[in-house]
């Protein structure tokens, strides 16, 4: 479920495009969001993922939606820039059925702030990471696996490439799940591509693969994209999508304001046959030409 498209950051690669980072006029209201979640539960939903067409925590309904998911016995995965959180909220989240996936592109304040397009925010992010470690993060060892509710993801660009090994090591030392990947050429990244990639597409992709076993934030243990394969995306305006990042350039499925979710799931499955290959990304395959040749 994509929450609001508003965001407090201006990342130069953002899927959404900087000019779209504001609340859409046709955004689902709270009642719609709750209805969709209840309907999805009836269709077998177990996990609500909030990948964010924008910053989920900037959605004024965020905490109310969270209460309802908890009441329904659902788990929620929130993708967040982590900057709007405060200590009290982190402590509250600890007792809620929630996992957090924070975006951190660098521990170097200058690079971090360049990559979020905002000055003076790194310190708050750094403090929130410390509070998360102290009050939220309780990794459990299960054989050779670490089960954790805290993840970090990075976008590998020419600016952040040197920062990736440090973030990776830090996550390893703290039992935090880590993924990173090179940019997908959509939204703002389609405009800033030359600056982000600088003819290093191959190198950035290799770094993405070197530092993470699963190259998706949403990856299953078999390396498939869990959201694409097992999920259905409801955008912030109610449009149903193949995946959270498959917006305007892909065929329309329908809108939860007009059709039942069950019917929309049926249409999605009919219109877009699923590819379960490991590493397959619906949007990357269609938008990044170098991925196309390799994956198709």
Ligand X SMILES: C[S@@+](CC[C@H](N)C(=O)[O-])C[C@H]1O[C@@H](n2cnc3c(N)ncnc32)[C@H](O)[C@@H]1O
Residues that bind ligand X (CB under 6 A): 7, 13-15, 51-52, 55, 79-81, 103, 153, 155, 181, 183-184, 186-187, 189
Contacts of residue 149, defined as CB under 8 A and 6 or more positions apart, other chains included, come to 98, 99, 100, 136, 137, 138
Q: Is 147 helix (H, G, I), strand (E, B) or coil?
A: strand
- Minimum gap (Å) between residue 143 Cβ and ligand X: 29
Which strand (E) or helix (H) includes residue 6?
Answer: none
Q: Is 36 in the site for ligand SF4 (CB under 6 A)?
A: no
140 class by beta-carbon count within 10 Å (0-12 exposed, 13-18 middle, 19+ buried): exposed
State the Cα–Cα distance between residues 28 and 35, nearest whole angstrom.
Answer: 10
- Minimum gap (Å) between residue 138 Cβ and ligand SF4: 26
Q: Is 142 helix (H, G, I), strand (E, B) or coil?
A: strand
Of 200 and 260, the one with the shorter C-beta distance to ligand X is 200
Q: Exactly one of 27, 33, 34, 55 binds ligand SF4 (CB under 6 A); which one? A: 55
Residue nearest ligand X, Cβ-based: 52
Of 7 and 253, the one with the shorter C-beta distance to ligand X is 7
- Minimum gap (Å) between residue 101 Cβ and ligand X: 7
- Minimum gap (Å) between residue 279 Cβ and ligand X: 14
Residue 10, binding choice from ligand SF4, ligand X, none, Cβ under 5 to 8 Å by partner class: ligand SF4
Of 49 and 224, the one with the shorter C-beta distance to ligand X is 49
């Amino acid at each position: 479920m994509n929450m609001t498209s508003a965001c407090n950051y201006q990342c130069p690669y953002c899927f959404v495009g900087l000019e779209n980072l504001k609340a859409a006029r046709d955004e689902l209201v709270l009642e719609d969001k709750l209805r969709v979640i209840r309907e999805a539960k009836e269709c077998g939903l177990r996990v609500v993922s909030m990948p964010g067409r924008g910053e989920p925590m900037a959605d004024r309904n965020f905490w109310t939606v969270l209460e309802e998911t908890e009441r329904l016995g659902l788990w929620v995965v929130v993708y967040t820039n982590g900057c709007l959180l405060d200590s009290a909220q982190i402590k509250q989240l600890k007792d809620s059925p929630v996992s957090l996936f924070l975006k951190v592109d660098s521990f170097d304040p200058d690079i971090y702030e360049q990559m979020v397009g905002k000055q003076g925010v790194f310190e708050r992010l750094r403090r929130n990471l410390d509070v998360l470690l102290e009050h939220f993060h309780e990794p459990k060892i299960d054989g050779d696996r670490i089960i954790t509710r805290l993840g970090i993801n990075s976008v590998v660009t020419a600016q952040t490439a040197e920062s990736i090994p440090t973030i990776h090591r830090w996550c390893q030392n703290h039992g935090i799940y880590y993924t990173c990947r090179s940019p997908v050429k959509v939204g703002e990244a389609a405009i800033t591509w030359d600056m982000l990639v600088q003819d290093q597409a191959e190198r950035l992709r290799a770094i993405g693969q070197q530092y993470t076993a699963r190259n998706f934030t949403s990856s299953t243990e078999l390396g498939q994209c869990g959201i694409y394969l097992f999920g259905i995306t409801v955008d912030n305006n109610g449009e149903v999508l193949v995946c959270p990042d498959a917006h305007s350039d892909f065929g329309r499925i329908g809108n939860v304001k007009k059709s039942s979710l069950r019917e929309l799931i049926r249409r999605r499955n009919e219109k877009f046959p699923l590819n379960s290959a490991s590493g397959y990304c619906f949007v990357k395959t269609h938008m990044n030409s170098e991925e196309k040749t390799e994956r198709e």
